[in-house]
Homo-oligomer: A and B are copies of this chain.
């Protein structure tokens, strides 16, 4: 199994857990857990593969990710009551999944020989779109749009690090691991220390 496949699998596991946690907040049954877990787990990578015309889509060629995500969903169904704050788990699981999915998307686009802009975009899309689908379908406020938090910016920073390191001559593995680290550290810093970019502030409304 290649390093890229491994990254796809790891992001599937962690995104699936975050999806199942959101399903628990919506009080679905076990099949609903599996549905949301699979949507979250493979959503970003599926968009990447369709956009890059990569055939077959990774989980259509090999359905193991779907089985893994379903297994994770079942586990969460029986254990989610053990944790204190499910929303906190969603947020932190999502941060790890983001940090794994961004290099997964970046790596696939590099391997297909795309230029730096597309490589960065595919990292961002793979990292953020599964979670976005989860939130839109389950009617949660999309994490990607939370005010005053870094999210899509972390994906951008991570993917950019990968492209720059590779351009400087580092190995793909180093580039992808640094990408994951950059993505996670900026996201965690935002969650713990409140790191953020200035948000848009319009004029005060007319009185």
Q: In the assembly, what is the distance between CA of A141 and CA of B121, in Å?
A: 27
With both chains docked as a complex, state the minimum distance between the C-beta of A171 and any C-beta of chain B, in angstroms.
25
Contact A28 B145 (CB under 8 A): yes
Contact B132 A137 (CB under 8 A): yes
Q: A202's contact among B67, B80, B128, B147, by CB below 8 Å, is which?
A: B80
* Given A50-B50, A67-B117, A118-B63, A28 and B137 contact (CB-CB distance below 8 Å): no
Which B residues are in CB contact (< 8 Å) with A164?
A: none
Is A88 engaged at the interface, CB distance under 8 Å to the other chain?
no
* Given A24-B202, A27-B199, A27-B201, A46 and B57 contact (CB-CB distance below 8 Å): no
Q: In the assembly, what is the distance between CA of A114 and CA of B59, in Å?
A: 12
Tally of this chain's copies: 3
Residue in A32, A53, A198, A202 whose Cβ sees the most chain B Cβ within 10 Å = A32
Is A60 engaged at the interface, CB distance under 8 Å to the other chain?
yes
Contact A35 B199 (CB under 8 A): no
Q: In the assembly, what is the distance between CA of A121 and CA of B132, in Å?
A: 21
Is A52 engaged at the interface, CB distance under 8 Å to the other chain?
yes
Is A138 engaged at the interface, CB distance under 8 Å to the other chain?
yes
Q: Which residues in window 99-122 of A have CB below 8 A to B?
A: 114-115, 117-118, 121
Is A173 engaged at the interface, CB distance under 8 Å to the other chain?
no
Is A10 engaged at the interface, CB distance under 8 Å to the other chain?
no
A55-81: contact bitstring with B at CB < 8 Å (1 yes, 0 no)? 111001001001100000000010011
Q: In the assembly, what is the distance between CA of A31 and CA of B35, in Å?
A: 30
With both chains docked as a complex, state the minimum distance between the C-beta of A147 and any C-beta of chain B, in angstroms.
5
Is A26 engaged at the interface, CB distance under 8 Å to the other chain?
yes
Q: In the assembly, what is the distance between CA of A166 and CA of B36, in Å?
A: 28
Q: In the assembly, what is the distance between CA of A52 and CA of B152, in Å?
A: 29
Q: In the assembly, what is the distance between CA of A136 and CA of B138, in Å?
A: 10
- Could you list 10 A-B pairs, sorted by A, with CB under 8 Å? A27-B200, A27-B201, A29-B150, A29-B198, A31-B153, A31-B156, A50-B50, A52-B60, A53-B56, A136-B137
